[in-house]
């Protein structure tokens, strides 16, 4: 099964905890169940915060990958 493209792209570069996760939460709340949302963040805490948020809120972290500019891209499927 292929993963559909994101329904929302969140640029949270240069924002610090908890703002990247709060923006991700807001985007997921307005997305349909099963929709994928992309988050790009530079906050070092996001590497811990995003997986924890997904586990607590019932969402699926599909991937976490570094970007050339030092940010990290997270793909999350709404639970």
Catalytic residue chosen out of the listed positions 7, 8, 15, 17: 17
Is 17 in the active site? yes
CATH superfamily of 8-77: TusA-like domain (3.30.110.40)
**How far is the C-alpha of 65 from the C-alpha of 1, rounded, in Å?**
20
Query: What are the tens digits of pLDDT across the range 43-73?
Result: 999 999 999 999 999 999 999 999 999 999 9
| pLDDT, tens digit (0-9, with 9 covering 90-100), for 8-40 | 999 999 999 999 999 999 999 999 999 999 999
- Whole-model pTM? 0.93
What are the boundaries of each domain within the chain?
8-77
């Amino acid at each position: 099964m292929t993963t559909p493209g994101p329904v929302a792209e969140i640029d949270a570069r240069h924002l610090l905890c908890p703002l990247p996760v709060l923006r991700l939460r807001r985007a997921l709340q307005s997305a349909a169940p099963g929709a994928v949302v992309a988050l790009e963040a530079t906050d070092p805490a996001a590497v811990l915060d995003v997986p924890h948020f997904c586990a607590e809120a019932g969402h699926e972290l599909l991937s976490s990958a570094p970007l050339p500019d030092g940010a990290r891209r997270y793909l999350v499927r709404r639970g």
